[in-house]
Amino acid sequence: MKEWYDAIKQAQSVDKLEEIRISVFGKKGVLADEFARMKSAPDDQKALIAKELNTHKNVLTNEFTARKITLQTLELQAHMKAEAIDVSMYSTKSQAGALHPVMETMDKIVEYFSSMNFAVKTGNMVEDDFNNFEALNLPKYHPARDMQDTFYFKDEMLLRTHTSPVQIRTMMTTKPPIRMIAPGAVFRRDYDITHTPMFHQVEGLLVDKEGQVSFANLKFILEDFLKYMFGDVKVRFRPSFFPFTEPSAEVDISCVFCAGEGCRVCSKTGWLEVLGCGIVDPNVFEAVKYRNVSGYAFGLGVERFAMLIHHIGDLRSLFEGDIKLLEQFQ
Ligand code: PHE
């Protein structure tokens, strides 16, 4: 019997202990054997042998139970140690986030103009009629207001329809000269594959002494900027109209999809419109009480730039939060 006491004490795992249990207490185990052998012992010794065997059986059972608890505890501890999670540990598997293509494009635009010494200004998304329209030479009831479908609040407040009011706010609070850009969200009542109710613009304004700022200056910086953004593209200026600039122009680049050959995206023209600009209208300077100055201004849609850079077909997809789409721009 002694060997079984030792075996129980020395068992190193719950599995091993289970094997021992079967060998000792099982139907064909040593105890069963001993009890069977007892039957053939002389009658006067049977009671004694039975007593002895029962004692062994009880003590072995106790030893077995005690060892089992010890081994189970040890195994549980080892298991917990192996599965422990160190939440502070650096994981190489973690996914890196990435900038949204619109923000990445915005950053690149801001980077260009910052390098050209333009200060970055922000205004208010909730604007008043004066800053968003009146001061920009868009009088009440003027049909030019139809160019921008506006979300109105009461008391002549509205969601800004463009970043141009930041020009006004800056000129109202700062003396010339001015060299600024205004990146930010703007809002219009529009929704189709090239329009969303919220999108982003970057406005630019440069003001200096009268006669110091020419259309040539404007043309130079915009051409340089567009080549920085799109690489080797052709740039052309087309006469246009904005109430706050005179003369005004829209700026096209040669189509980035077909290199000017003519395709579906550029409606077979070979050109894509990317910017509005012009020489600041004297009525705007009048509204902010600037005298003897000249300036240029421009405005662009950031989503349009992002779509052209990344070849995205539907503007709305930028705002659907679709991870599969966004992951492509990491
Ligand atoms: N504010 C104009 C728009 O939203 C863009 C623009 C800005 C045009 C400045 C000319 C000068 O369409």
Q: How far apart are CA 53 and CA 33, in angstroms?
A: 11
Ligand 1 contact, 167 CB (< 6 A): no
Residue 157 and residue 66 share a domain: no
Residue 88 maps to a domain: no
Residue 253 and residue 205 share a domain: yes
Residue 325 contacts residue 310 (beta carbons within 8 Å): no
Ligand 1 contact, 278 CB (< 6 A): yes
How far does the centroid of ligand 1 lie from the alpha carbon of residue 164, in Å?
A: 7
- pLDDT tens digits along 273-325: 999 999 999 999 999 999 999 999 999 999 999 999 998 877 888 888 888 88
- pLDDT tens digits along 252-263: 999 999 998 999
Predicted model pTM: 0.72
Residue 191 is predicted with a pLDDT of 85
Residue 217 and residue 176 share a domain: yes
* Domains of the chain: total: 2
How far does the centroid of ligand 1 lie from the alpha carbon of residue 298, in Å?
A: 6
In this structure, which residue's CA is closest to atom 7 in ligand 1?
299
Residue 125 and residue 53 share a domain: no
Residue 21 is predicted with a pLDDT of 93
How far does the centroid of ligand 1 lie from the alpha carbon of residue 128, in Å?
A: 17
Residue 71 and residue 30 share a domain: yes
Ligand 1 contact, 249 CB (< 6 A): no
DSSP string, 97-160: P---HHHHHHHHHHHHHHHTTPEE----SEEEHHHHTGGGT--TT-GGGGGS---B-STTEEE-
Residue 25 is predicted with a pLDDT of 92
Residue 77 and residue 121 share a domain: no
Query: Domain end: 48, 83, 118, which one?
Result: 83
Residue 208 and residue 282 share a domain: yes
Strands 235-242 and 126-128: unpaired
How far does the centroid of ligand 1 lie from the alpha carbon of residue 136, in Å?
A: 10
Residue 120 and residue 49 share a domain: no
Pick the atom of ligand 1 nearest to 276's CA: 8
Q: Which residues pair with 114 in a beta bridge?
A: none
In this structure, which residue's CA is closest to atom 9 in ligand 1?
298
Residue 45 maps to a domain: yes
Residue 90 is predicted with a pLDDT of 79
* Average pLDDT score, the chain: 92
All residue ranges of the chain with pLDDT < 70 are none
Residue 291 is predicted with a pLDDT of 96
Residue 137 domain boundaries: 101-329
Residue 296 maps to a domain: yes
How far does the centroid of ligand 1 lie from the alpha carbon of residue 85, in Å?
A: 55
How far does the centroid of ligand 1 lie from the alpha carbon of residue 203, in Å?
A: 7
Ligand 1 contact, 164 CB (< 6 A): yes
Residue 135 and residue 10 share a domain: no
Q: Which of 159, 180, 244 for a ligand 1 pocket mutation test, highest count of atoms within 8 Å of Cβ?
A: 244
Query: Domain end: 31, 52, 83, which one?
Result: 83
Residue 89 maps to a domain: no
Residue 292 and residue 235 share a domain: yes
Residue 286 is predicted with a pLDDT of 97
Residue 144 maps to a domain: yes
Residue 222 and residue 172 share a domain: yes
CA distances from 106 to 72, 185, 193, 214 (A): 61, 11, 20, 26
Residue 299 and residue 253 share a domain: yes
Q: Which of 161, 164, 277 for a ligand 1 pocket mutation test, highest count of atoms within 8 Å of Cβ?
A: 164
Residue 287 maps to a domain: yes
Looking at residue 275, which CATH number applies to its domain? 3.30.930.10
Residue 142 maps to a domain: yes
Residue 268 maps to a domain: yes
